[in-house]
Structure 1
Amino acid sequence: MQVSPSPDLEYLPRLPQDKSIGIGCIGSGFIMADCHLVAYRNAGFNPVAIASRNRANSQAVADRHGIKTVYNTYQELLHDPKVEIVDIAVPPQLLLGIVKDAIKHAGRIKGILAQKPLGINFAEAQEIVRLCEEAGIALGVNQNMRYDQSIRACKDILDKGYLGKPVFASIDMRAIPHWMPWQKELGWATLRTMSIHHLDTFRFLFGDPQRVYASVAEDPRNAATFAHEDGIALYILEYENGFRASAWDDVWTGPAREGAESDIYIKWRVEGTEGIAKGNIGWPDYPLPVPSTLDFTTTQHAGWQRPRWKEVWFPDAFAGPMAQLMCAIEEDREPEISGKDNLKTMALVEACYRSFREHRAVAIDEILTGHNVPSIHH
């Protein structure tokens, strides 16, 4: 196959024609204040109101981003006639209750963008999807790594056939997240907060795997004060066509907070029959704006192609999940990152938990159908 790789790749989200639809923001933490609203402002979207558990925080965020209306409670915000999309960025254990209140205003409220993870487990995610479907509200999920510029461009390379048939892909994360209080309350470390990005990205790039094998270990830095199972998570995805993907999600990364030099990064790699693509994700350097990178080479062209962009994952990629929801409402279709599609990502996360607890590979259909799927031995 003759192809002509070009650095002019499709890496930005498609934007709606009408950007004036009113967005009501629930939550005033870092993700809303420093990511969602910065990206929305740059994209020309229209946040019209905000509410959170802390009125003072809401007011400060509203003043910073030029939002005219601040409510004491999210319930008051849901009654605002200007609000047609609800953007929810709260701890996951609060999500279902807010969705139940939001669907009471179906008709005027046309869409909900929910932060990932979609609830505290797969069953709760199913309930959220069911409620929105029955209410006729478009549900999108903020799986924003799909809109990291390097990941988006990699998808374009794959779709154009530059790499041939995918053979193997990997993500290697050595990064120390900022642990949120709600994570400690829930006993969550890596799988539902960091790995969920990588699992969803594998699905975005390559489709749905058949099964996953996961192994985990504690993060020794937080073991004494933060009860968790999945500090360091390793997992392998098996696909029916023979393709394999794996990730090493290491939030320990050595004693980088205890006096040693740090070696922080997120790297990804895709190998195909006709080419290789590899990149770095710039997020660990936040707040320094370091764009993610992509390099690729093919059998048809000598040398490495190295397209570069000025946009960064945090905050620029956060325009994408809202844009795809707005486009879906505008065009009366399912969102690209719909709640229904995201159930497969939630099932994949759940399968990782079952895998490491039962020390076996787990078929994703076990979670989706609720029935054990026997392993196939050749």
Structure 2
Amino acid sequence: MTVHKLAMVGCGGVTAMHYDGYTAHPERIQLVAACDPVAERRDWAQQTYGVASVHETLDAMIDAVDWDVAVVCTPTSIRREMVEQLAAAGKHLMVEKPLADTYAEAKTLVDICAKANVKLAVNQNFREHYGFHLARDLVAEGRLGKVLGIVHEDLMFRQDKGWRREAERHALSVMGVHWLDGFRFLLGREASWVWCRTASSPAIDATGETEAFTHLLFDDIPVTYTESFSSRIRRTDTVVLGALATLRLGSEGVQLTDDAGTTSHQNPYAGKGKPESTYRCLDQLLQALDDGKEPANSGEDNLRTIALLDAAYASAKAGEPVTLTEGLPR
């Protein structure tokens, strides 16, 4: 098994999940460097996780240390700059979600990496952290029969800080990108139609939307999805309605209910397993490097997730549905 040398680009709050996942796998990853413009965050990475080489800039880290794979955890506002530097240096990379704020920006990042012949992956770790992979397997096995539709709610009271609070795109960009990707992954299909309405609650200090009400069609399968960052009731719940059974996804796993009763399938990557789900996303990239293939969570694949996100915002702005062709803009 190849051990890859890894560098972290950005040391913000989300990186603790990455560090916890990666340091648990020294047989696969050697974490050699990190960069962040904030000295306090560099010190945290060094003192908490033993990162030997920390730097203020990406340029300095590229020049100072030998490594082959980067994980990019910067805000999307500077994502292109980071990807351009990494691709030019021949570094393969995995980026935090969302890949970019818009489909056009995401396509540019994918093209930059393709031209530089470096692989690009996206940390869509909810495919396993939330249990979409378990649901996908049950659907593929025919346990539900024909899938008739999906109903999904993600309700919380969430006040973000820092750059996210100032972003023009908020609730859908922060959480919707997980769910939209999860629907694609679970069904193994691409959406053809998107309708969305958004709203902003005065209870939450945010420039962008705090509520989104979205309907999608994946061929003939309808999906209804509600996101709220101002709900006083907290609930995350997914119900997949099938002709033979009903499947419910939650924080711990999935439950399949049919005429014989209910069976539970525990998800080892839920809860405290989240860092492991993130490692597994990275390992898809590492395995692709070892095999000379493309990872399932590639930037190219993720374009269809970002296209869905873009279509939802476009629909909310125009007040009418948006249609897609094979999951991409027409």
**Which TM-score tier does this pair reach, normalised by the shorter chain?**
over 0.9
Query: Hey, what's the Cα distance between the residues in 1 that align with 2:80 and 2:227?
Result: 28
The one of 101, 115, 129 aligned to 1:148: 129
Match of 1:294 in 2: 254
Q: Deviations over 1:32-77 (max 9, x none)?
A: 12x1110112233321111112123112122211222111212122
Cα distance in 2 between the residues matched to 1:342 and 1:77? 27
Three-state SS of the structure 1 residue aligned to 2:297 is: coil
Please name the residue that 2:223 is paired with: 245
Instruction: Give unmatched runs, 5+ long, in structure 1.
Output: 1-16, 255-262, 282-291, 372-378
Is residue 50 of structure 2 the alignment partner of residue 50 of structure 1? no
Q: Give SS of 1:156's match.
A: helix
Match of 2:215 in 1: 236
- Opposite residue 193 of structure 2, the aligned amino acid is R
Q: Which amino acid letter does the alignment assign opposite residue 200 of structure 1?
A: D
Structure 2 residue aligned with 1:6 = none
Query: Residue type matched to 2:75 in 1?
Result: P
8 Å contact 1:351–1:367 — kept in the other structure?
Answer: no
- What is the CA-CA distance between 1:320 and the residue it aligns to? 2.0
Q: Give the aligned length.
A: 325
User: 2:229 and 2:148 mapped to 1: Cα distance?
Assistant: 27
In the alignment, the residues of structure 1 paired with residue 162 and residue 325 of structure 2 have an alpha-carbon distance, to the nearest angstrom, of 33
Q: Deviations over 1:79-100 (max 9, x none)?
A: 3453110100010011100111
Partner AA of 1:32 in structure 2? T
Pair 149,367 (structure 1): closer, same or farther in 2 beyond 3 Å: closer
2:11 aligned to 28, 34, 38, which one?
A: 28
Partner of 1:266: 236
Which residue number in structure 1 is paired with residue 172 of structure 2?
Answer: 191
Aligned pairs for 1:123-162 (under 5 A) are 123-148=104-129, 150-162=131-143
Q: Which residue, out of 206, 216, 226, partners 2:206?
A: 226
Aligned-partner residue type, residue 227 of structure 2: D
Shift of 1:139: 0.3
2:265 counterpart residue number: 307
Aligned with 1:179: secondary structure? coil
State the match for 1:376 in structure 2. none
Say if 2:303 is the partner of 1:343.
Answer: yes
1:204 paired with 2:178, answer: no
Q: Which residue of 2 aligns with 1:277?
A: 247
| Partner Cα distance (1:105, 1:235) in 2 | 40
CA distance in 1, matches of 2:25, 2:224: 34
Question: 1-side partners of 2:154 and 2:182: how far apart?
Answer: 13
Amino acid at match of 1:272: G
1:181 aligns with 2:162: yes
Contact 1:265–1:280 under 8 Å retained in 2: no
* 1:81/1:57 CA distance change after superposition, 3 Å: closer
1:66 maps to a residue whose letter is G
Aligned to 2:84: 100
CA separation in 2, counterparts of 1:269 and 1:43? 34
Q: Which structure 1 residue ranges, 4+ long, deviate > 4 Å from structure 2?
A: none
Shift in Å at residue 184 of structure 1?
2.4
Match for 1:349: what amino acid?
Answer: L
Distance 1:215 1:50 in 2: 40
Which residue does the alignment assign to 2:312? Answer: 352
User: What is the CA–CA distance in structure 2 between the aligned matches of 1:50 and 1:135, rounded to whole Å?
Assistant: 22
TM-superposed deviation, 1:366: 11
Q: Does the CA-based 8 Å contact 1:350-1:367 persist in structure 2?
A: no
Give a deviation string over 1:271-326, Cα, whole Å, max 9, x none.
Answer: 11221110222xxxxxxxxxx22111235xx1211122454353332112101111
Query: Residues of 1 paired with 2:139 and 2:159: CA distance?
Result: 33
The AA in structure 1 aligned to 2:225 is A
Aligned-partner residue type, residue 303 of structure 1: G
User: Do 1:295 and 1:306's aligned partners in 2 also have CA atoms closer than 8 Å?
Assistant: yes
Inter-CA distance 305–367: structure 2 relative to 1 (3 Å threshold): closer
Q: TM-score, normalised by structure 2?
A: 0.93
Structure 1 match to 2:44: 60
1:328 to 271, 288, 296: 288
For the residue of structure 2 that corresponds to 1:334, the secondary structure is coil
Amino acid at match of 1:36: H
Unaligned runs of 5+ in 2: none
Alignment TM-score, normalising by the size of structure 1: 0.81
Please report how far the alpha carbon of residue 150 of structure 1 lies from its aligned counterpart in structure 2 after TM superposition: 2.1
**3-state SS in 1 of match to 2:157:** coil
Q: Is the 8 A contact 2:247 2:254 kept in 1?
A: yes
Q: Distance in 2 between matches of 1:102 and 1:131?
A: 10
Identity of aligned residues (%): 22
1:322/1:177 Cα in 2 relative to 1: closer, same or farther (>3 Å)? Answer: farther
- Asked if structure 1 preserves the Cα contact closer than 8 Å seen for 2:106 and 2:306, the reply is yes
What amino acid sits opposite 1:268 in the alignment? T
Q: CA deviation at 1:367?
A: 8.9
